[in-house]
Amino acid sequence: MKNPQAYRPALIIIDMINDFNFHHGRILADKALNIAKPINTLKNAFYEQDLPVIYVNDHYNLWQADLDTITNHCRNPISAPILHEMHPSPDDYFLIKPKHSAFYGTALNTLLHQLGVNMLVMTGIAGNICVLFSANDAYMREYHLHIPHDCTASNDDHDNENTLKMMEKVLKANISSFSENNYNISSMFPS
Each residue's pLDDT expressed in tens, for the chain with a length of 191 residues: 344 458 899 999 999 999 999 999 999 999 999 999 999 999 999 999 999 999 999 988 888 888 999 999 999 999 999 999 999 999 999 999 999 999 999 999 999 999 999 999 999 999 999 999 999 999 999 999 999 999 999 999 999 999 999 999 999 999 998 876 665 666 565 55
Enumerate residues 6+ apart whose C-beta is below 8 A from 74.
17, 18, 19, 60, 83
Task: Supply the DSSP symbol for 174.
Answer: B
For residue 42, give the nearest of 111, 117, 123 by alpha carbon. 123
Enumerate residues 6+ apart whose C-beta is below 8 A from 147.
121, 122, 123, 131, 135, 164, 167, 173, 174, 175
d(CA 144, CA 118): 6
d(CA 100, CA 91): 25
- Tell me the CA end-to-end span of the chain in Å, nearest whole number: 9
Tell me the three state secondary structure of residue 133: helix
Q: Give pLDDT, residue 64.
A: 81
d(CA 90, CA 118): 23
For residue 151, give the nearest of 96, 85, 101, 75 by alpha carbon. 85
d(CA 129, CA 74): 19
Peptide bond into 126 cis (omega under 30): yes
Tell me the three state secondary structure of residue 78: coil
Q: What is the pTM of this model?
A: 0.92
CB atoms within 10 A of CB 118: 18
